[in-house]
Amino acid sequence: MPENRTPAPAQHTPTAYGWCSWHQGYSGGVRLIQVVEQGSGPGGHVFACASCRELHGLVPFADQP
């Protein structure tokens, strides 16, 4: 059986492109800040870009104790 799966590119830089909930716009290098759990309504993941993290002193979810 041939191995047809293309190996994922090695990406160690956290340069995900996504929605920043702080300045309400798309930006590169967003990080997950917190996971919102809501019983009703759309919960979800809250992301912030690098400049907003610096501006608001946000700690990425993965870096929190």
Q: Interface with Zn ion by CB under 5 A: which residues?
A: 20, 22-23, 49, 52
CB of 43 to Zn ion, least distance (A): 20
Q: Which is nearer to Zn ion, 20 or 33 (CB)?
A: 20
Q: Which is nearer to Zn ion, 33 or 52 (CB)?
A: 52
CB of 56 to Zn ion, least distance (A): 9
- 9-18 long-range contacts, CB within 8 A, separation 24+: 16/47, 18/47
Q: What are phi and psi of 46, to 5 degrees?
A: -110, 125
CB of 57 to Zn ion, least distance (A): 13
SS3 content of the chain, % helix, strand, coil (to 5): 15, 30, 55
